[in-house]
């Protein structure tokens, strides 16, 4: 397996030290890391899920709107960040891998490295507790 880009390595280091849930994907959209706070919301440890293609992570958590309608992958903030290379934000519901429904607020942005290298995307999310 080849080495990750340096900006991605540093992003993972930062994520490992932050208390905010963070989800990192590579330029192809493959999930390559999420941190411990994200594990609590997604309902599974990263060591258990491992790398996951976009087609899987964009549906496996069953994202849905406030009426319970499924949200298509192309409307998810991280997919927008990846495909349109711009930041995106959305509030929606997911069902964690532990079966628990949670309302989350997500901000995603593309990761652009030195020399305009597109390196993937990062999503930061918060669980909304009322």
> Using CB under 8 A as the criterion, which residues of the chain lie in contact with another protein when the complex forms?
1-7, 9-10, 12-14, 16-17, 113-115
H helices of the chain, in order, are 6-17, 36-42, 46-49, 54-60, 77-84
Nearer to another protein, 10 or 20 (CB): 10
* Residue spans of beta strands (DSSP E) within the chain: 22-25, 31-34, 88-95, 101-113, 117-127
Joined together, the tokens standing for residue 59 give 């549906």
**Is the CB of 16 or the CB of 65 nearer to another protein?**
16
Instruction: State the minimum distance, in angstroms, from the CB of residue 4 to another protein.
Output: 6
Least CB distance to another protein at residue 3 (A): 4
Nearer to another protein (CB atom), residue 76 or residue 122: 122
CB of 82 to another protein, least distance (A): 21
* Residue 107 Cα to chain centre, angstroms: 9
Q: Please state, in angstroms and rounded to a whole number, the distance separating the CA atoms of residues 39 and 21.
A: 8
Which of 1/99 has CB closer to another protein? Answer: 1
Minimum distance, C-beta of residue 43 to another protein, in the bound complex (Å): 24
């Amino acid at each position: 397996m080849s080495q990750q880009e340096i900006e991605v390595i540093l992003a993972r280091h930062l994520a490992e030290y932050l208390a905010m849930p963070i989800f990192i994907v590579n330029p192809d959209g493959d999930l390559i890391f999420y941190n411990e706070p994200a594990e609590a919301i997604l309902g599974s440890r990263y060591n258990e899920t491992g790398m996951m293609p976009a087609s899987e992570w964009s549906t496996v958590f069953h994202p849905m709107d406030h009426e319970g309608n499924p949200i298509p992958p192309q409307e998810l903030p991280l997919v927008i960040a990846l495909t349109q290379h711009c930041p995106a934000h959305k509030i929606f519901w997911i069902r964690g891998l532990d079966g628990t429904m949670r309302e989350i607020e997500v901000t995603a942005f593309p990761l652009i490295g030195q020399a305009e290298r597109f390196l993937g995307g990062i999503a930061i999310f918060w669980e909304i507790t009322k």
